[in-house]
Amino acid sequence: MKRHHKPQPPRSPRLFTEPEGSAEHAQGAYTAQIDGASRGNPGPASYAVLIRRPNGEVLDQLKKEIGRGTNNVAEYYALIAALDYAQTHRISKLRVRSDSELLVRQMKGHYRVKSFALRQLHERARRLAASLAYFAIEHVPREQNREADRLAHEALDRAVAARAAPVAEPETRKPIPKLRDETLPAEKRIQARWRHGALHPAEPLDLAEGEEVEITVHKSRHD
């Protein structure tokens, strides 16, 4: 009798099956400490990422406000930002550390992603993680993630302060009053002759170029 073998389900991505403590695969891995923050949950939200070289030296810091969102959404934004950074900078091995137990367990496949708001973020994070040669994510206590937490709140404080700052009104310039030339009297009577459609003064006028004057015309009386 011929036995029929049941088709095996597709293997899970390597990032979920490999032991995270494997020294062989983790060798040369960069580390990303991530954190998200939200005030109001939902409310103003931000994320932060601290990238470290394999030797522990800080390579880069990322922090950004993302508008209104929940804390879990902000945590996923932080993870995606770390993965995007790794892909952009050709980092093939990445270890992520987060103090969000929900995020870590969902990425490991221990928890289902029920929230519609998180589902697309979760799928995008999985695709990015699967493109790496090595990826591991681990939960750490909040005390070990203080630096990322500080950066996330710095981004949030800056964004909230910017929105609360009063808008400066445009400066209105007052017209500069024209100074009267004190060398000239307030009024001066002179003789002028009308010729060829213009008045021709009988004596020179000590006026600046472009200066405006008032002219009152009276006909002269000849005896």
Could you please report the per-residue DSSP string of 170-201?
PPPPPPPPPPP-TTS-S-----EEEETTEEEE
| Cβ–Cβ under 8 Å, residues 98 and 76 | no
User: What pLDDT was estimated at residue 33?
Assistant: 98
Sheet holding 30-38, edge to edge: 58-69, 43-52, 30-38, 93-98, 134-139
- 13: pLDDT confidence band, cut at 50, 70 and 90? very low
User: What pLDDT was estimated at residue 197?
Assistant: 67
Q: What angle do CA 204, 210, 213 make, to 5 degrees?
A: 65
How far is the C-alpha of 201 from the C-alpha of 193, rounded, in Å?
A: 6
How far is the C-alpha of 103 from the C-alpha of 75, rounded, in Å?
A: 7
How far is the C-alpha of 70 from the C-alpha of 151, rounded, in Å?
A: 17
Residue-wise pLDDT tens digits, 139-152 = 999 999 999 999 99
Gap between the terminal Cα atoms of the chain: 150
Which residues share a beta bridge with 36? 47
Q: What angle do CA 163, 103, 94 make, to 5 degrees?
A: 95
Q: Of the ranges 3-7, 23-27, 167-171, 217-221, which is most confident?
A: 23-27
CATH for 25-164 is 3.30.420.10
Q: How many other CB atoms sit within 10 Å of the CB of residue 77?
A: 22
- 29: pLDDT confidence band, cut at 50, 70 and 90? very high
DSSP string across 47-82: EEEEEE-TTS-EEEEEEEEEEEE-HHHHHHHHHHHH
Strand, helix or coil for residue 94? strand
User: What pLDDT was estimated at residue 26?
Assistant: 82
Report domain extents, the chain.
Answer: 25-164
Taking the CA atoms of the chain, what radius of gyration do you get in angstroms?
A: 38
Which residues share a beta bridge with 187? none
Residue 81: what are its φ and ψ, rounded to 5°?
-65, -40
Count of all residues that appear for the chain in the document: 223
Residue-wise pLDDT tens digits, 77-108 = 999 999 999 999 999 999 999 999 999 999 99
User: What pLDDT was estimated at residue 184?
Assistant: 45
Which residues share a beta bridge with 64? 47
